[in-house]
Amino acid sequence: MQNPFGNNNDNDQNPFNLNNLPLPPNYAKIVNDQGDLRIAKVGFSWTTLWFGPIPALFRGDYYNFILMIVLDLDYVLVAMFFGLNWLLEFPWPSIVFGFFYNMMYFKHLFNKGYHPADQRSRELLTRARYWKE
């Protein structure tokens, strides 16, 4: 497989070897004790900005999906109750969750027993303050 990210592992002959999986520089791999691997972006979640809670549903992150739905509904109900309909013209909850969703996803998985799969992911997660040694 040709590596588009330029980290010198073009010669991978085993397509199922996930240790040499070419990843963009802002993606981290985490794994649990059963060997389940999750790969996700560190930083701003553009998919959450554009699609709201749907990326959480596709990731199987039901906890954060329900949390986002409830907080979005609370935002709408409070704005409508106080007659602040102008607040509904701009997607403020999506912007806020865009900044925090990837961190919430990683921290929820860390509470389920996941940990960084390699040193590069550990450094990336530590630098972003998602993981503490």
Strand order in the sheet with 37-41: 37-41, 27-31, 115-116
Q: Which of 2-6, 80-84, 103-107, 113-117 has the lowest mean pLDDT?
A: 2-6
From start to end of 68-123, where are the E strands?
115-116
Q: To 10 degrees, what angle do helices 62-81 and 92-111 make? A: 150
pTM of the complete model: 0.79
Higher pLDDT, 133 or 7: 133
Given this model, what pLDDT does residue 14 score? 46
Q: Which two tokens stand for residue 24?
A: 């963009």
Nearest one of 15, 30, 16, 35 to 120, comparing CA atoms: 30
pLDDT tens for each residue of 26-52: 999 999 999 888 999 999 999 999 999
